Chain A
Amino acid sequence: DTEVTQTPKHLVMGMTNKKSLKCEQHMGHRAMYWYKQKAKKPPELMFVYSYEKLSINESVPSRFSPECPNSSLLNLHLHALQPEDSALYLCASSQALLGGAGYEQYFGPGTRLTVT
């Protein structure tokens, strides 16, 4: 099973809302990632969790708050977003290396977020 699942597939939220994106994998991977992808651009790394601990935060605004409740789950809590935060949010997982990110990363299908 090389599947990473993400819910919801689509999300529309207002600038005052609070919502959460969810990601799950059952490959035994101990590194999980959040990426943001705008149209016609490559994915941009936001956060990396290694062994359920946040190891990389790429200077992401505090209105994005990640959480890794266990080795299979990764959440991204959203609050007071801006319209420019509208994008495809991708979750990925990989075997973890000590200190950071692993090699082949397996991606979920993404959540298409629209902030109005």
Chain B
Amino acid sequence: DQQVKQNSPSLSVQEGRISILNCDYTNSMFDYFLWYKKYPAEGPTFLISISSIKDKNEDGRFTVFLNKSAKHLSLHIVPSQPGDSAVYFCAAKAGANNLFFGTGTRLTVIP
């Protein structure tokens, strides 16, 4: 049973525009959410996280939004750059428990 879902397997965006990656979850006990970026043949790289007590966290070009009532989070990248092309995983955890990963969204930024 997939507790964290990324329903868009791929997304293409023009360079300079905004990329919006979405993630939905089912477990209301999740209290911490993370986004990871993965290039081929490399391990996932931590990007940004958000605690369930917040609804927004920003770090440079990356902003994560959390809507607890909808059990939905999103990652905004603006402006998008060709180097952002990668697979993006969202992940969630409840307290000291394991990370649950989504299935990933492949982002392609077109120059």
Find the B residue at minimum CB distance from A10. B41
Total A-B pairs, Cβ < 8 A:
61
Measured as residues with beta carbon below 8 angstroms from the partner, the interface class of chain A is: 20 to 34
Min Cβ gap B10→A in Å is: 11
Hey, what's the 0/1 contact readout for B30-72 against A, CB within 8 Å counting as 1? Answer: 0010101000011111100100000000000000000000000
A43 on the interface (CB 8 Å rule)? yes
Whether the Cβ atoms of A56 and B98 lie closer than 8 Å is yes
The residue that B96 contacts in the complex, of A58, A91, A98, A109, with Cβ under 8 A, is A98
Which B residues contact A (CB, under 8 angstroms)?
4, 32, 34, 36, 41-46, 49, 89, 93, 95-99, 101-104
Which A residues contact B (CB, under 8 angstroms)?
4, 6, 40-43, 45, 48, 56, 58, 90-92, 97-110, 112
